Amino acid sequence: MNSQLATAYATCRAIARGSAKNFYYAFLVLPSDKRNAICAVYAFMRHADDISDQPSVPVAERKGKLADWLEAAHRVFEGQPNDDAVLFALADAKRRFKIPVELLDQLVAGTAMDLDVDSSAGGADAPAVLCQSFDDLYRYCYHVASVVGLVCIRIFGYRSPDAEPLAEKCGIAFQLTNIIRDVREDALMGRIYLPAEDLERFGQSAQALTAENLKNGFQPEGYRSLLEFEATRAREFYSAGAELMKLIDEESRPALWVLVEIYRRLLDKIAKQNYDVFSRRVELSRAEKISVLSRGLLRRLL
């Protein structure tokens, strides 16, 4: 690896280490070439996320910046020079692991899915309910999470096409876990991802999750049965992880195991706290993550 490429990958690793609070632990148990590639993909996606998550910038301007970012990536893929370290590393990872450009396009498209939501709805008014049905939520989760899984298995390595729908399901499980954990934070941003049909089934309403209520320590008890219902759904999708494990390259299995274990433990921790995701953000401690990482490293060595 030449020095310019090594420097570019080091930049991507630093971005992943600083931002990928759960994913980075899985990256650590990959062989170095795969770890570099995953970090390049993450850094590319992180930049797109950062562009999308700027509420002070007009939506049209953010969309323009995302289009510019994707266009710059395409130019680099075509061999045109660019001094951006992330794009330089990503182009190498794309070539080395045969990542379809369509998947990278979908990664950026996924980060833009929230841009049409009126962020001002996170004020005194009730947040917007973005999905009417679970089918709507599934489509959202596919674009923002399953596509990531489909990119990752290209880097992990697999032979059977059966790995692809399983990677899709793992992505759904991870994103459902994030949605359950982040109900309060998302509501404060004016967004509710829980489907309207589920809110109605459990007799709940987005009207309860106003910024005024949530900032005053409001505890919407009725949401707990709803969140438990969504957690049960997530666990059904987690079962795909065990099946996927058998289909990816053996050297990559510890990384997938670490990732699934961290997210599954997060969901279990939310359940143990009786689905109270409103008083504080539920997270695994650094010690808990290191414990999972240690077991993952042991799996790689054995």
Choose the final residue of a domain: 72, 107, 142. 107
Residues 161, 246 within the same domain:
yes
Residue 121 has pLDDT above 50, yes or no: no
Residues 157, 100 within the same domain:
no
For 131-200, list the strands marked E by DSSP: 191-192
Residues 102, 124 within the same domain:
no
Residues 188, 238 within the same domain:
yes
Residue 122 has pLDDT above 50, yes or no: no
For the chain, list the strands marked E by DSSP: 128-129, 191-192
Residues 138, 51 within the same domain:
no
Give the pLDDT confidence of 44-100 residue by residue, as tens digits: 999 999 998 888 889 899 999 999 999 999 999 999 988 899 999 999 999 999 999
Give the pLDDT confidence of 248-274 residue by residue, as tens digits: 999 999 999 999 999 999 999 999 999
Give the pLDDT confidence of 88-118 residue by residue, as tens digits: 999 999 999 999 999 999 999 988 888 876 4
Choose the final residue of a domain: 59, 84, 107. 107
Total domains in the chain come to 2
CATH code of 203's domain: 1.10.600.10
Give the pLDDT confidence of 194-223 residue by residue, as tens digits: 999 999 999 988 888 877 778 776 777 788
Choose the final residue of a domain: 107, 135, 170. 107
Q: Is 279 exposed, middle or buried (0-12, 13-18, 19+ CB in 10 A)?
A: exposed
Among 18-22, 118-122, 173-177, 288-292, name the one with the lowest average pLDDT.
118-122
Domain containing residue 148 = 118-302
pLDDT confidence of residue 300 = 66
Residues 281, 132 within the same domain:
yes
Classify residue 112: in a domain, yes or no: no
Classify residue 180: in a domain, yes or no: yes
Residues 6+ apart with CB under 8 A from 298: none
